[in-house]
């Protein structure tokens, strides 16, 4: 089986739950085709550099996949039919990167900084 990184952009009109449901549908297609999904990352609603099919924003998702080429061909065929999907990109890779993507790692660092700041601010307010 081959290793892939699969990125999907969906319309801004759908909810985050619908975008994640689409990720589950993709995962089911891959499993039915004899593959497995090692990681699914939902990156959220992000601005586009330029309009794509009259959309200024899109929901982004990244999947790390271990599947036969026929399973990925079926996934791409199904995405071509789905009206909610704006674009997708499947890239074959030598090995899967199972760590957090740089985008999510940055968000996690920002959350940790915010958690560290909050107790200090509360302590300063209590001291006054």
Closest CA to 93 of 118, 72, 119: 72
Question: Looking at the domain assignment, is residue 123 inside a domain?
Answer: no
Quote the pLDDT of residue 103.
80
Strand, helix or coil at 26? helix
Question: Looking at the domain assignment, is residue 120 inside a domain?
Answer: no
pLDDT band (50, 70, 90) for residue 123? low
- Per residue in 45-57, pLDDT tens? 999 999 999 999 9
Question: Looking at the domain assignment, is residue 73 inside a domain?
Answer: yes
* 86: CATH: 3.30.70.60
> Residue 127 pLDDT > 60, yes or no?
no
Question: Looking at the domain assignment, is residue 26 inside a domain?
Answer: yes
- How far is residue 18's CA from residue 37's CA, in Å, rounded to a whole number? 19
Strand, helix or coil at 35? coil
Residues of the domain holding 19: 1-115
DSSP string, 71-113: HHHHHHHHHHH-TTEEEEEEEEESS---SPPHHHHHHHHHHHH
Report the domain count for the chain.
Answer: 1
Question: Looking at the domain assignment, is residue 121 inside a domain?
Answer: no
Closest CA to 40 of 51, 55, 25: 25
């Amino acid at each position: 089986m081959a290793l892939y990184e699969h990125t999907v952009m969906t319309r801004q009109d759908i909810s985050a739950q619908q975008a994640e449901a689409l990720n589950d549908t993709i995962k089911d297609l891959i499993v039915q085709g004899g593959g497995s999904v090692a990681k699914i990352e939902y990156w959220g609603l992000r601005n586009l550099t330029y309009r794509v099919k009259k959309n200024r924003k899109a929901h982004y998702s990244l999947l790390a996949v271990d599947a036969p080429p026929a399973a990925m061909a079926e996934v791409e065929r199904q995405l071509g039919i789905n009206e909610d999907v704006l674009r997708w990109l499947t890239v074959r890779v030598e090995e899967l990167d199972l760590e957090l993507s740089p985008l999510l790692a940055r968000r996690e660092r920002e959350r940790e900084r915010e958690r560290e700041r909050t107790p200090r601010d509360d302590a300063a307010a209590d001291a006054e």
